[in-house]
Structure 1
Amino acid sequence: MSSRTRHPAGRVAMVSEHASPLAALGGPDAGGQNVYVAQVARQLARRGHRVTVYTRRDSADLPDRVTLDDGVQVVHVPAGPPAPVPKDELLPHMSEFGDFLARQWSLDPPDVVHAHFWMSGLAALAGARELGIPVVQTYHALGTVKKRYQGASDTSPPQRLAIEEAVGHDCARIIATCSDEVAELKAMGLDEDRISIVPCGVDPDQFRPAPRIRPAGARKRLLSVGRLVPRKGFDRAIRALAGIPGAELVVAGGPGAGLLGADPEARRLAAIAAEYGVADRVTLLGGVGRDRMPALMADADLVLSLPRYEPFGIVPLEAMACATPVVATAVGGQLDTVVDGTTGVLVPADEDHDLGPVVRALLADPERLARYGAAGRRRVLTHYTWDRVADGVAAVYGAVSSIPSLSGVVR
Structure 2
Amino acid sequence: MRIAMVSAHASPLAEPGSPEAGGRNVHVAALSAALVRAGHQVTVYTRRDDPHTRTEVVTREGYIVVHVPAGPAAPLSRDQILPHLGEFGTFLRKHWSLHPADLVHAHYWSSALAAELAARSHRLPVVVSFHGLGTIRRRHQGLADTSPRSRIRFERLIALRAAHVLASCSDEAAELVRMGVPRFRTSVVPGGVDTAQFSGTGGKASRGAKHRLFGAGRLLRRKGFDVGIRALSDLPDTELVIAGSAVGDDLDDDGEGRRLRRVAVEHGVHERFRILGPVSHAAMARLYRSADVVLCTPWFEPFGLVPLEAMACRTPVVATAVGGMRDTVVDGVTGRLVETTDPAEVARAVRPLLEDPTLRDTWGAAADDRARSGYNWDRVAAATLHAYHRAAPDRAADAVAVAR
TM-score of the pair, normalised by structure 1 = 0.92
How many angstroms does 1:381 deviate by?
1.6
Q: Equivalent of 2:6, from 11, 15, 31?
A: 15
**Could you tell me which residue of structure 1 aligns to residue 152 of structure 2?**
161
1:404 aligns with 2:392: no
**Could you tell me which residue of structure 2 aligns to residue 363 of structure 1?**
354
Cα distance in structure 1, aligned partners of 2:388 and 2:3: 9
**Could you tell me which residue of structure 2 aligns to residue 317 of structure 1?**
308
395-404 vs 11-20, which moves further: 395-404
Q: CA RMSD in A?
A: 2.0
- For residues 249 and 110 of structure 1, do their structure 2 counterparts lie closer, same or farther at Cα, with a shift above 3 Å needed? same
- The answer on whether the counterparts of 1:14 and 1:114 sit within 8 Å (CA) in structure 2 is yes
98-107 vs 88-97, which moves further: 88-97
- For residues 24 and 52 of structure 1, do their structure 2 counterparts lie closer, same or farther at Cα, with a shift above 3 Å needed? same
Q: Equivalent of 2:226, from 235, 240, 249?
A: 235
1:174 aligns with 2:165: yes
What letter corresponds to residue 172 of structure 1 in structure 2? A
How many angstroms does 1:96 deviate by?
1.0
**Could you tell me which residue of structure 2 aligns to residue 202 of structure 1?**
193
How many angstroms does 1:261 deviate by?
8.8
Q: Equivalent of 2:102, from 111, 118, 134?
A: 111
- For residues 91 and 400 of structure 1, do their structure 2 counterparts lie closer, same or farther at Cα, with a shift above 3 Å needed? same
1:125 aligns with 2:102: no
How many angstroms does 1:349 deviate by?
3.3
How many angstroms does 1:378 deviate by?
0.7
Matching of residues 1-400 of structure 1 within 5 Å: 10-26=1-17, 30-210=21-201, 213=204, 218-254=209-245, 262-351=253-342, 354-400=345-391
- The answer on whether the counterparts of 1:260 and 1:267 sit within 8 Å (CA) in structure 2 is no
- The answer on whether the counterparts of 1:398 and 1:405 sit within 8 Å (CA) in structure 2 is no
How many angstroms does 1:355 deviate by?
1.7
What letter corresponds to residue 325 of structure 1 in structure 2? P
Cα distance in structure 2, aligned partners of 1:34 and 1:248: 30
- For residues 162 and 216 of structure 1, do their structure 2 counterparts lie closer, same or farther at Cα, with a shift above 3 Å needed? closer
Cα distance in structure 1, aligned partners of 2:207 and 2:76: 47
What letter corresponds to residue 290 of structure 1 in structure 2? H
- The answer on whether the counterparts of 2:231 and 2:346 sit within 8 Å (CA) in structure 1 is yes
- For residues 216 and 197 of structure 1, do their structure 2 counterparts lie closer, same or farther at Cα, with a shift above 3 Å needed? closer
Task: Give 1 or 2: higher helix fraction.
Answer: 2
Cα distance in structure 1, aligned partners of 2:253 and 2:365: 40
352-361 vs 341-350, which moves further: 352-361
TM-score of the pair, normalised by structure 2 = 0.94
- The answer on whether the counterparts of 1:134 and 1:172 sit within 8 Å (CA) in structure 2 is yes
How many angstroms does 1:86 deviate by?
1.1
- For residues 163 and 249 of structure 1, do their structure 2 counterparts lie closer, same or farther at Cα, with a shift above 3 Å needed? same
- For residues 211 and 133 of structure 1, do their structure 2 counterparts lie closer, same or farther at Cα, with a shift above 3 Å needed? closer
Which runs of no fewer than 5 residues in structure 2 stay unpaired? none
Provide, for residues 58-100 of structure 1, a one-character-per-residue CA deviation record: whole Å limited to 9, x for no partner.
1212211111012211011111111111112221111111111
- For residues 235 and 405 of structure 1, do their structure 2 counterparts lie closer, same or farther at Cα, with a shift above 3 Å needed? farther
- For residues 358 and 44 of structure 1, do their structure 2 counterparts lie closer, same or farther at Cα, with a shift above 3 Å needed? same
What letter corresponds to residue 397 of structure 2 in structure 1? P
Which runs of no fewer than 5 residues in structure 1 stay unpaired? 1-9
- The answer on whether the counterparts of 1:138 and 1:174 sit within 8 Å (CA) in structure 2 is yes
Provide, for residues 216-238 of structure 1, a one-character-per-residue CA deviation record: whole Å limited to 9, x for no partner.
99420100011111111111111
How many angstroms does 1:157 deviate by?
1.0
- The answer on whether the counterparts of 1:210 and 1:295 sit within 8 Å (CA) in structure 2 is no
SS at match of 1:40: helix
Cα distance in structure 2, aligned partners of 1:399 and 1:333: 23
**Could you tell me which residue of structure 2 aligns to residue 6 of structure 1?**
none
Cα distance in structure 1, aligned partners of 2:253 and 2:17: 15
- For residues 98 and 215 of structure 1, do their structure 2 counterparts lie closer, same or farther at Cα, with a shift above 3 Å needed? closer
SS at match of 1:292: helix
How many angstroms does 1:107 deviate by?
1.7
How many angstroms does 1:29 deviate by?
5.5
347-356 vs 164-173, which moves further: 347-356
- The answer on whether the counterparts of 2:231 and 2:343 sit within 8 Å (CA) in structure 1 is no
- The answer on whether the counterparts of 1:18 and 1:29 sit within 8 Å (CA) in structure 2 is no
What letter corresponds to residue 376 of structure 1 in structure 2? A
Cα distance in structure 2, aligned partners of 1:336 and 1:405: 34
- The answer on whether the counterparts of 2:126 and 2:164 sit within 8 Å (CA) in structure 1 is yes
- The answer on whether the counterparts of 1:328 and 1:345 sit within 8 Å (CA) in structure 2 is yes
How many angstroms does 1:37 deviate by?
0.4
How many angstroms does 1:212 deviate by?
6.1
Cα distance in structure 2, aligned partners of 1:28 and 1:194: 34
SS at match of 1:328: strand
SS at match of 1:86: coil
- For residues 215 and 195 of structure 1, do their structure 2 counterparts lie closer, same or farther at Cα, with a shift above 3 Å needed? closer
- The answer on whether the counterparts of 1:394 and 1:406 sit within 8 Å (CA) in structure 2 is no
Tell me the percent identity. 50
SS at match of 2:281: coil
